[in-house]
């Protein structure tokens, strides 16, 4: 996971002019659950505050490590890409993205530099001059009749999309072989089994005039893929031995 974690460490969440300290705490918790750790506060109305600590729960470390700035311009001065989250359409010439579109973009930008996702005030959102500092606007496609999410919940949606995008970028984990008590059977054990299998197929007249090679070829592939251990090969050979015995009995009755 380490390589996948690198871009996320270059992504900061910036909360501008937050009114309720509880929302700062809840945003920190939303971030930490999704593996984000960099919180930046621009002119929060009340902070530090016990409500922030209470809502942060196990994410109080993010509050302790939060940066403080007087203006958004200061908070994003070192950023290469800045996205502003808005609850409503603004008449501003900015590219509009959904969180699902924004997340991979943010990760790609974070490969080369610092990235910020910016969230506005509870009552009034981001001001137009603040949106003008952004490269793109992100809108969660909510109910058009009631599109304004709680601030921390909006942070959660963005943080979740970043998480998913990051997991999708990470190479899939190498397949873990199922735990086995014994190592796979040896080549000689497998060949002994295949020899007995071929004899058994003859004895039970499985091929019925067809050439035996085609079926044996497929059966070999199947059993080699399964990589049975020595004990499993003995079990299979026990089954074959019984089938051979039954075939002998049936042959004797003919």
Binding residues (CB under 6 A) for ligand SAH: these are: 85-88, 119-120, 122-126, 138-140, 142, 147-149, 151, 154
Least Å distance, CB 146 to ligand SAH, is: 9
Nearer to ligand SAH, 88 or 180 (CB): 88
Select from 141, 139, 164, 153 the least CA-distant residue to 55: 153
Least Å distance, CB 157 to ligand SAH, is: 8
Nearer to ligand SAH, 76 or 151 (CB): 151
Least Å distance, CB 164 to ligand SAH, is: 17
Nearer to ligand SAH, 56 or 198 (CB): 56
Least Å distance, CB 74 to ligand SAH, is: 18
Answer for the pair 65, 37: CB distance below 8 angstroms, yes or no: yes
Q: How far apart are CA 162 and CA 12, in angstroms?
A: 12
Nearer to ligand SAH, 127 or 242 (CB): 127
Category of 232 on φ-ψ map: left (φ > 0), alpha (ψ -120 to 50) or beta:
alpha
Cα diameter, the chain: 99
Least Å distance, CB 76 to ligand SAH, is: 14
Select from 91, 144, 107 the least CA-distant residue to 99: 107
Nearer to ligand SAH, 99 or 228 (CB): 99
What's the per-residue H, E or C state across 101-164?
HHHHHHHHHHCCCEEEEEECECCCECCHHHHCCCCEEECCCCCCCCCCCCHHHHHHHHHHHHHH
Backbone angles phi, psi at 209, to 5 degrees: 90, -15
Nearer to ligand SAH, 11 or 151 (CB): 151
Select from 123, 170, 121, 161 the least CA-distant residue to 140: 161
Which residue lies nearest ligand SAH, judged by its C-beta?
A: 125
Least Å distance, CB 88 to ligand SAH, is: 5
């Amino acid at each position: 996971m380490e390589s996948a974690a690198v871009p996320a460490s270059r992504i900061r969440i910036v909360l501008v002019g937050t009114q309720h300290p509880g929302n700062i705490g809840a945003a920190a918790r939303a971030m930490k659950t999704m593996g984000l750790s960099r919180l930046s506060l621009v002119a929060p109305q009340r902070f530090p505050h016990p409500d922030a600590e209470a809502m942060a729960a196990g994410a109080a470390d993010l509050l302790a490590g939060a940066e403080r700035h007087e203006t958004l311009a200061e908070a994003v001065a070192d950023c290469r890409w800045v996205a502003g989250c808005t609850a409503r359409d603004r008449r501003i010439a900015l590219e509009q993205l959904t969180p699902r579109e924004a997340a991979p973009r943010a990760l790609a930008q974070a490969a080369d530099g610092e990235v910020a996702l910016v969230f506005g005030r509870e009552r009034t959102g981001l001001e137009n001059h603040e949106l003008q500092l952004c490269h793109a606007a992100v809108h969660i496609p909510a109910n058009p009749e009631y599109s304004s999410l709680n601030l921390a919940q909006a942070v959660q949606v963005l943080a979740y999309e970043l998480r998913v995008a990051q997991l999708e970028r990470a190479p899939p984990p190498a397949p873990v072989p199922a735990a086995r008590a014994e190592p796979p059977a040896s080549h000689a054990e497998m060949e002994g089994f295949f020899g007995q299998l071929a004899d058994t197929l003859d004895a039970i007249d499985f091929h019925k005039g067809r050439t035996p090679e085609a079926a044996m070829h497929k059966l070999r592939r199947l059993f080699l893929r399964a990589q049975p251990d020595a004990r499993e090969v003995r079990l299979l050979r026990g089954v074959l031995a019984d089938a051979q015995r039954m075939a002998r009995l049936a042959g004797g009755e003919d």
